[in-house]
Structure 1
Amino acid sequence: MEFLKSNLDLGVMGLLGLMSFVMIAFVIERLLYFARVDLAAFDDAEDLELALTRNLTTIATIGANAPYIGLLGTVLGILIAFYDIGRTGEIETATMMMGLALALKATALGLVVAIPSLVFYNALLRRTESLKVRWRRVKRP
């Protein structure tokens, strides 16, 4: 239990930080790709679809799972807080509330990662659809 107590913040916050970094890197990569994509170079709609949607699944997966990682951190933080209360046998309101408040920060950080991820995913998906419409206009005989 002591290992979990000493490494919970590092593990959960580190994982959410890594997810955030990956999401931002993929969003930037997609924006740069969309800015320079040559639609005329694609002869097949499936090839275009694959090229345009690369890394979008990862962005959506991060957006969908970051709240769960945060929730896991919160549940484990609450578990630690209750364990400490049970071990000492004393219920001090201030200590209990501080432990619960610190546990909730993981959920908050999970939402901070998830909300922009889903916003970026939807915006990039819309851009993908727009590029596919432009491609169909270019390829129309």
Structure 2
Amino acid sequence: MEFLKANLDLGVMGLLGFMSFMMVAFVIERYLYFARVDLSAFEDAEDLDLVLTRHLTAIATIGANAPYVGLLGTVLGILLAFHDIGQAGAIETGTMMLGLALALKATALGLVVAIPSLVFYNALLRRTDVLKARWRKERRG
């Protein structure tokens, strides 16, 4: 229990930080690629789709799972807060509220990672649709 108490914040915040870093790296890579992609180099629609949607699944996965990582941190934090209250033998409102408030920061951080991830995912998905439409238009005429 002491190991969990000592490392919970570091583990949850570290994982969410890593997820955030990966999301930003993938988003930047995609925007840079979309800015310089040569649509005329593709003969096949499936090849174009594969290249344009690279890393989008990872961005969506981060956006979908970051709240759950935050929620896990919150649940474990609340578990630890109740454990400490149970060990103390007395319920002090201030101590209980402080433990619960600190536990909720993991959920908040999970949402801070998830919301931009999903916004970027949708923006990038729209950009892939536009690029594919331009490719089809070039092919037709």
Q: What range is the shorter-chain TM-score in? A: over 0.9
Report the equivalent of 2:81: 81
Is 2:57 the partner of 1:61?
no
In the TM superposition, what whole-angstrom CA distance separates every residue of 1:62-103 from its partner, at most 9, and x where no partner exists?
A: 000000000000000000000000111110100000000000
The letter of the residue matching 2:94 is A
SS of 1:16's equivalent?
helix
Is 2:109 the partner of 1:92?
no
Report the equivalent of 1:128: 128
Q: CA deviation at 1:10?
A: 0.1
Identify unmatched segments of 5+ residues in structure 1.
none
SS of 2:90's equivalent?
coil
* Root mean square deviation, CA, Å: 0.5
TM-score, normalised to structure 2, is 0.99
How far apart in 2 are the matches of 1:40 and 1:138? 8
TM-score, normalised to structure 1, is 0.99
Identify unmatched segments of 5+ residues in structure 2.
none
Flag as ranges the 4+ runs of structure 1 deviating above 4 A: none
- In the alignment of these two chains, the number of paired residues is 141
The letter of the residue matching 2:31 is L
The letter of the residue matching 1:103 is A
Report the equivalent of 1:7: 7
SS of 1:6's equivalent?
helix
How far apart in 2 are the matches of 1:19 and 1:89? 39
The letter of the residue matching 2:43 is D
SS of 1:61's equivalent?
helix
Q: CA deviation at 1:35?
A: 0.1
The letter of the residue matching 1:80 is L
Q: CA deviation at 1:18?
A: 0.2
- 1:7-46 paired onto structure 2 within 5 Å: 7-46=7-46
